[in-house]
Amino acid sequence: MIPLFKVAMSDEAGDRVAEVLRSGRVEHGPAVSAFEDTLAARIGNPRVLATNSGTSALHLALDLLTRQHGGRSADGEVLSTPLTFEGTNWPILANGLRIRWVDVDPDTLTMDLDDLARKITPRTRAIMTVHWAGYLMDLDRLDRVLDDAQARLGFRPRVVEDCAQAWAARYRGRPLGNHGHLSVFSFGALKPLTCGSGGLLVLPDDDLHERGRRRRWFGINRGEDRATGEYDVADWGYRFYMNDVAAAIGLANLERVDELVERNRRNAAYFDRELAGIPGLRLTARFADHTPSCWVYPVLVADRPAFARRMHEAGIATSVISRRNDEHSCVASMREPLPGLDAVMPAVAYLPVGWWLSDTDRDHIVRTVRAGW
């Protein structure tokens, strides 16, 4: 079976982890700082905070914005997409906020920005966007939506970009994490860059970075407060710090991740050419100024159950990855009409596109899809 996902683990990771274990400092040692410094240089933004998961980073991002606006509020809303993994949206609930669902653009599978513009109200505390499957939303147009909201309502909503599947992606030549928003990456096992488990919060200003740095570790400034044993926690926080074992794995994998993501892109470009125009199959949109990570390859197909059976018979893994989040019973009270998502969900499927595909694998996938289902 050609897998949909595969763990990208460097041969050097074991040696890096062994060094950490021998050092006796598996938490709060030098590896996390070294990892953060390297990530900051890659992204081009020094305001980074490594966390124990991408979900923790999302939780921390929303916590920073929620407390900045006076704390939790019964009528506070975060505008978000239901076409994502549940890890995107449950931190909204964990921060005591209501999810207001925004529809999906059927051409891109990212947030419908026209629907977003309609739904920004005085209750909006933040906007959660997702670069789904590593394909980017239009960040310039998002800025125009925010400009219009500021002119209409007198405030500019803050944005959290969920970049979980989009490591090494660039928008108009600039890496994600440089567009004025709070940006979150995941380093989970199946992500382009993995630490086994881990995440990263990238912040747009020094104030948010400093407050996030403290809240990541119970509100304590470890480098100064704990040296004397006399300290006060004025702004309580969480246990979201990354450990040095995870950072060591990440440092090893950083040495080859760019090469692997570039292979993903070449495979995706091949499928863009070879799968175009097939009856019963539609490709998602591509943009010259977007450089995606191509985590998986999305397609919209007629008779998805038959498509999935045919792929399985041919030894090609396919999946819908996650259920639409708005259909879970825990958010039943928040449902509303989403015609774009209704059109997409029965048809969307994902094909392998990763660095592990050989030329033979790619040709086999193309021949199988062309033969029909």
**Domain 13-252, CATH:** 3.40.640.10
CATH of 257-370 given 3.90.1150.10, 3.30.70.100, 3.20.20.70, 3.40.50.720 = 3.90.1150.10
Distances from the Cα of 190 to the Cαs of 53, 119, 295, 296, in angstroms?
Answer: 13, 33, 9, 11
Distances from the Cα of 107 to the Cαs of 96, 118, 165, 341, 366, in angstroms?
Answer: 32, 19, 19, 11, 21
Amino acid residing at 197: S
Distances from the Cα of 361 to the Cαs of 215, 227, 259, 305, 342, in angstroms?
Answer: 46, 57, 19, 22, 32
CB distance 82 to 324 below 8 Å: yes
Distances from the Cα of 39 to the Cαs of 8, 175, 259, 261, in angstroms?
Answer: 17, 11, 16, 16
Could you read off the pLDDT of 309-334 as tens digits, one per residue? 999 999 999 999 999 999 999 999 99
Report CA 308 to chain centroid distance, whole Å: 25
The answer to whether domain 13-252 and domain 257-370 are alike in fold is no
Q: Does an H or E element contain 239, and which?
A: none
Q: What percent of the chain has pLDDT over 90?
A: 94
- In which band, very low, low, confident or very high, does the pLDDT at 29 lie, cut at 50, 70 and 90? very high
Q: Does an H or E element contain 25, and which?
A: none
Q: Where are the domains of the chain?
A: 13-252, 257-370
d(CA 10, CA 78): 38
Paired residues of 239 in beta bridges: 217
Task: Answer yes or no: is pLDDT of 1 > 60.
Answer: yes
Amino acid residing at 23: S
């998502």: which residue's tokens? Answer: 341
Average pLDDT of every residue of the chain: 96
Could you read off the pLDDT of 167-218 as tens digits, one per residue? 999 999 999 999 999 999 999 999 999 999 999 999 999 999 999 999 999 9
The closest of 23, 32, 21 to 216, measured between CA atoms, is: 32
Question: The whole model's pTM is what?
Answer: 0.96
CB distance 241 to 32 below 8 Å: yes
Residue spans of alpha helices (H) in 78-205: 86-94, 113-119, 139-153
d(CA 192, CA 263): 11
Could you read off the pLDDT of 60-109 as tens digits, one per residue? 999 999 986 655 555 799 999 999 999 999 999 999 999 999 999 999 99
